C-alpha cells in the first residue's frame, strides 16, 4: 500500500471533521493508501511534522483552515523531495480552496484528493525563511484574520471576520513606503497592500483579480494609497469589489514575480491569515510550481470558468 500522512486541526471551522473522520479514512484506505494520522496540538506543529516526516510519504493530506495549510506547506518547502499534497478545507473562509474549487464537503474533497489529477502550484517566499500559499498582506483589516478568537470564528464563521473588520475601520494606520516590482516602482503613503495567488480574499471575490493562474510564476499585487479621510476607504474597497477592472488612481494593480516593500518603520504582515512578523523590508518571491497539489478539476479550467 502507498504511504500517506494525514494531519488535521480538530478546532478549525466548526469542528466538522470530528463526525467525518471515519468516512475520510475509509476513502483513503479504499484508494490503496495506508494513512498515518496526526492531530495538531499547537500552532505551527504541522510544519514540524511536515518537515520531519513528509519525505517518507507519497501523499501528505491536511485538513484545517488556511493557516493549517500554510503550516504544512511551509514545512514541505524545506524538503528536497516533496510529496504530493491534498487539502480538505475546514476553516472559516478557506480562500485557497475557493480559488481552486476544492469542495467544502470534506468527504467529497477527500475523494478528489485520491482520484483527481496532480498539478504544480506556485508558492510565495517571504524573506529568507517564511512561505505563503496564496496571500501576503499588510495594513487595513489584515490584523483581523489572526486576532479574531477561534471560538468566535467557530460560532459565526465568515461573519466573524466581517464584524471584526467593521470594528477595525476606526483604527487605520498609514505607511510611507517604496514599492518595487518586475518592471516598475513607486513611493507614497499606503493603507493596505496584498500580494496574492488567489481569486478569493477574506471570502470575497473582486479584491483579487479574476484571471489568476496558479502556476505561471506571477503574483497579483494590489496596493491602496492612503485616502484623504478614513471614510473614503470603504468606497475604494467597494469599487474594487463591484468594478474590479475599473481604473482607480488610489489603487495600484500589477503582476510580478517579485515584490519589495521598504519602509522606515516596521510593518506587520499577514501570511495566509496568520501573523507573519514585522519588518522594514519585505522581499516577496514567487517560487514557480514549488509543490504538487492533488485535486479536481484542473486549476486552469477553473480560471476559465471564473473569468467567464
- Annotated active-site residue in 265, 274, 300, 303: 274
Q: Tell me which residue of 16, 127, 121 sits closest to 65, measured CA to CA.
A: 16
Neighbours of 158 (CB within 10 A): 14
| Contact call for residues 113 and 61 (beta carbons, < 8 A) | yes
- The three cell numbers locating residue 176: 510611507
Whether 15 is catalytic is no
| Contact call for residues 77 and 60 (beta carbons, < 8 A) | no
| DSSP-assigned letter for residue 120 | E
| DSSP-assigned letter for residue 256 | E
Q: How would you class 138 by CB atoms within 10 Å of its CB: exposed for 0-12, middle for 13-18, buried for 19 or more?
A: buried
- The three cell numbers locating residue 2: 502507498
| Contact call for residues 109 and 87 (beta carbons, < 8 A) | yes
Q: Rounded CA gap, 91 and 197, in Å? A: 18
| Contact call for residues 221 and 251 (beta carbons, < 8 A) | no
Q: Rounded CA gap, 256 and 116, in Å? A: 30
| DSSP-assigned letter for residue 148 | S
3-state secondary structure of 19: helix
- The three cell numbers locating residue 226: 492612503
Q: What are phi and psi of 275, to 5 degrees?
A: -60, 125
| Contact call for residues 267 and 282 (beta carbons, < 8 A) | yes
Indicate which residues carry an active-site annotation.
274
Amino acid at each position: 500500500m502507498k504511504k500517506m500522512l494525514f494531519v488535521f486541526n480538530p478546532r478549525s471551522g466548526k469542528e466538522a471533521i470530528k463526525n467525518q473522520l471515519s468516512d475520510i479514512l475509509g476513502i483513503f484506505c479504499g484508494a490503496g493508501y495506508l494513512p498515518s494520522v496526526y492531530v495538531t496540538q499547537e500552532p505551527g506543529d504541522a510544519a514540524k511534522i511536515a518537515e520531519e516526516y513528509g519525505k517518507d510519504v507519497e501523499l501528505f493530506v491536511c485538513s484545517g483552515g488556511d493557516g493549517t495549510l500554510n503550516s504544512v506547506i511551509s514545512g514541505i518547502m524545506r524538503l528536497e523531495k516533496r510529496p504530493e499534497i491534498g487539502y480538505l478545507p475546514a476553516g472559516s473562509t478557506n480562500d485557497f480552496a475557493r480559488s481552486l474549487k476544492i469542495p467544502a464537503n470534506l468527504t467529497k474533497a477527500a475523494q478528489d484528493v485520491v482520484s483527481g489529477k496532480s498539478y504544480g502550484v506556485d508558492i510565495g517566499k517571504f524573506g529568507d525563511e517564511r512561505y505563503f500559499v496564496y496571500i501576503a498582506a499588510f495594513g487595513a483589516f489584515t490584523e483581523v484574520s489572526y486576532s479574531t478568537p477561534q471560538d468566535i470564528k467557530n460560532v459565526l464563521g465568515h461573519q466573524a471576520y466581517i464584524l471584526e473588520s467593521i470594528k477595525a475601520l476606526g483604527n487605520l494606520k498609514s505607511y510611507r513606503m517604496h514599492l518595487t516590482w518586475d518592471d516598475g516602482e513607486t513611493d507614497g503613503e499606503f493603507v493596505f497592500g496584498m500580494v496574492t495567488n488567489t481569486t478569493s480574499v477574506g471570502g470575497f471575490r473582486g479584491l483579487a483579480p479574476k484571471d489568476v493562474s496558479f502556476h505561471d510564476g506571477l503574483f497579483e499585487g494590489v496596493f491602496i494609497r492612503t485616502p484623504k479621510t478614513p471614510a473614503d476607504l470603504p468606497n475604494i474597497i467597494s469599487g474594487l469589489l463591484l468594478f474590479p477592472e475599473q481604473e482607480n488612481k488610489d489603487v495600484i494593480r500589477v503582476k510580478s514575480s517579485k515584490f519589495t516593500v521598504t519602509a522606515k518603520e516596521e510593518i506587520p504582515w499577514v501570511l495566509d491569515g496568520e501573523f507573519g512578523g514585522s519588518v522594514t523590508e519585505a522581499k516577496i518571491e514567487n517560487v514557480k510550481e514549488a509543490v504538487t497539489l492533488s485535486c479536481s478539476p484542473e486549476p486552469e479550467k477553473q480560471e476559465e470558468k471564473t473569468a467567464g
